[in-house]
Amino acid sequence: MDEPSFRAAVAAGDFLEWVEYSGNLYGTLCSEVRAKLEDGDDVILEIELIGARAVRAAMPEAVTVFIAPPSMAELADRLRGRGTESAAAIARRLHRAETEVAAAEEFDHVVVNDDAGRAADKVVAIIEARRKED
């Protein structure tokens, strides 16, 4: 979607959540999520804190899962180990992560990503438990 179309969709309220990040626009269209849910599919959104809050406001029935780093030191090591960002960019991401981790209690579940496979299994278990409730 080009920028004018995106901004028009924002003004029309077509997005469940959206954000402008690093000069780019990202969002989740309500119509896409609703269509998947109506088909009986699970929908997983990988979004940041502000987006999660917007989803919670629009869809209070949504189950939210916060994926937390094992520690801020481990997160810093992971970011540095990638070798893809400058020290300044890493510092900005760590600062943002501190704010997000502080808000983890806003979520229904917190999964610590100390091992990717184990964390994925925990998310699957959360989804399966929710299916049994419905």
The CATH code of the domain that includes 100 is: 3.40.50.300
Do the domain assignments include residue 1?
no
Residue type, 69: P
List per-residue pLDDT tens for the chain, 134 residues long.
999 999 999 999 999 999 887 788 999 999 999 999 999 999 999 998 999 999 999 999 999 999 999 999 999 999 999 988 889 988 988 998 999 999 999 999 999 999 999 999 999 999 999 988 87
Do the domain assignments include residue 14?
no
How far is 45 from 10, CA to CA, in rounded Å?
18
Do the domain assignments include residue 101?
yes
User: Strands 24-29 and 65-68: what pairing?
Assistant: unpaired
Do the domain assignments include residue 50?
no
How far is 128 from 123, CA to CA, in rounded Å?
9
Segments forming the whole domain that contains residue 71: 63-134
3-class secondary-structure state, position 48: coil
The DSSP output letter for 109 is E
Do the domain assignments include residue 34?
no
Do the domain assignments include residue 120?
yes
Structure tokens at 9: 């969709």
How far is 129 from 120, CA to CA, in rounded Å?
14
Our count of domains for the chain comes to 1
Give 52-87 as a DSSP string. HHHHHHH-TT---EEEE-S-HHHHHHHHHHHT-S-H
Do the domain assignments include residue 13?
no
Do the domain assignments include residue 42?
no
Cα angle for residues 84, 74, 51 (degrees, 5° grid) = 70
Kindly report the backbone phi and psi dihedral angles of residue 96, in degrees, each rounded to the nearest multiple of 5, phi listed first: -65, -40
